Amino acid sequence: MSVVREDVPDLATLQRRAAQRAADRAGGADRLRGHIVCDSLVRIFTTEGVEVVALQGLDLVVDRGELVAIVGASGSGKSTVLNILSGLDTPTAGIARVAGYDLLTMSARKRLRYRRHTVGFVWQQTSRNLLPYLTARENVALPMQLAGRRGRAARRRAVELLELVGVEHCADRMPGQMSGGEQQRCAVAVAVANDPEVLFADEPTGELDEATAAEVFGALRTINAELGVTVVVVTHDPQVATQVRRTVAIRDGRTASEVRRTARVGADGVEELVTEEYAVLDRAGRMQLPAAFVDALALADRVKLTLEPDHVQVRSGDGRGTT
């Protein structure tokens, strides 16, 4: 079974299905908002007396059933956000909430429960995702067995999940007998074995070529659509924007911009996906101009703002171009 859906309307259909499944899971559409909330999130690392501000007031809201990619240059703070959201690290200040859990204040016991039951993970290194001496089926069944779910039901669900991500042909193979892409798709099945509410993937395609990476994104989209799991993928691959409906870009530890692909019905009646880029405004009204705009008009130091009836004009402080 192929899970790669390249054609445009399918992405929109999958998104609708994910929203429906997520609403079913949550017991109503009114509980979809803010499954993941970061507000003015700050993380400062101190090493040998030197402070590094990895996150400087990051804002992010992901609704239940969304599939969101977080992109950014090396050192922009992507892994720091993911480590906080997955409960591995604690923020210095701000708000970080996932599925009702407050990640700043939760106790060690609650954190353990959160990591075991609420969230699933896929890491870049396949060796961190799969046990090398177990078959794909056994790898997927293991988390269920550890959670007390044994026997035929667990084995059946393991095969169903492998089918869902398109690697049922690998069920009896060890990871060493599978390609990198097959291993990562199997890792997605392992991560959702115990039906988490949220799936976090950190550079899941970092070691894969473009075509294989697309298959892994296909698996993440299928899991999102069929199980209603909220999915957050961190990557530094800017091409990911073509694989998901919403891409959030982080720059210098802040949310800088977003690319959204929305379904629209064109004049010919055919549904198409339109890609639009947005700057993100924080609560204090701050935003980052895209680097390309700043470069195009050689904006520096000071810009002139003018309020127009339906937009804001930004001009170079020395009277040159407008963005």
Ligand X SMILES: Nc1ncnc2c1ncn2[C@@H]1O[C@H](COP(=O)(O)OP(=O)(O)OP(=O)(O)O)[C@@H](O)[C@H]1O
Binding residues for ligand X (CB under 6 A) = 45, 47, 52, 54, 72, 74-80, 236
Helix ranges (H only) for 64-209 are 78-85, 108-113, 126-129, 136-146, 151-164, 180-191
Considering the complex, state which of residue 58 and residue 62 has its C-beta at the smaller distance from ligand X.
58
Considering the complex, state which of residue 135 and residue 235 has its C-beta at the smaller distance from ligand X.
235
Sheet order of strands, 119-122 included: 119-122, 198-202, 230-235, 67-71, 246-251, 254-265, 271-279
The vertex-258 CA angle with 79 and 234, nearest 5°, equals: 20
**C-beta of 48: minimal distance to ligand X in Å?**
10
**C-beta of 269: minimal distance to ligand X in Å?**
42
**C-beta of 80: minimal distance to ligand X in Å?**
3
**C-beta of 257: minimal distance to ligand X in Å?**
15
Kindly tell me the sign of the dihedral angle through the C-alpha atoms of 283, 294, 77, 187: positive
Considering the complex, state which of residue 80 and residue 118 has its C-beta at the smaller distance from ligand X.
80
Considering the complex, state which of residue 77 and residue 87 has its C-beta at the smaller distance from ligand X.
77
Measured CA to CA, the distance from residue 61 to residue 76 in angstroms comes to 18
Considering the complex, state which of residue 126 and residue 222 has its C-beta at the smaller distance from ligand X.
126
Distances (CA, A) of 94 to 52, 60, 84, 97, 105: 17, 12, 12, 10, 11
**C-beta of 42: minimal distance to ligand X in Å?**
12
Query: Residue 257: beta bridge partners?
Result: 249, 279
Considering the complex, state which of residue 44 and residue 95 has its C-beta at the smaller distance from ligand X.
44
CA atoms within 13 A on the CB side of 100: 7
**C-beta of 204: minimal distance to ligand X in Å?**
13
Considering the complex, state which of residue 70 and residue 164 has its C-beta at the smaller distance from ligand X.
70
Measured CA to CA, the distance from residue 155 to residue 136 in angstroms comes to 11
The vertex-229 CA angle with 78 and 89, nearest 5°, equals: 35
Question: What DSSP designation does 145 have?
Answer: H
Q: For residue 112, what are its two tokens?
A: 């353990």
Considering the complex, state which of residue 20 and residue 40 has its C-beta at the smaller distance from ligand X.
40
Measured CA to CA, the distance from residue 164 to residue 222 in angstroms comes to 7
**C-beta of 83: minimal distance to ligand X in Å?**
8
Residue with tokens 């195009």: 296
**C-beta of 230: minimal distance to ligand X in Å?**
20
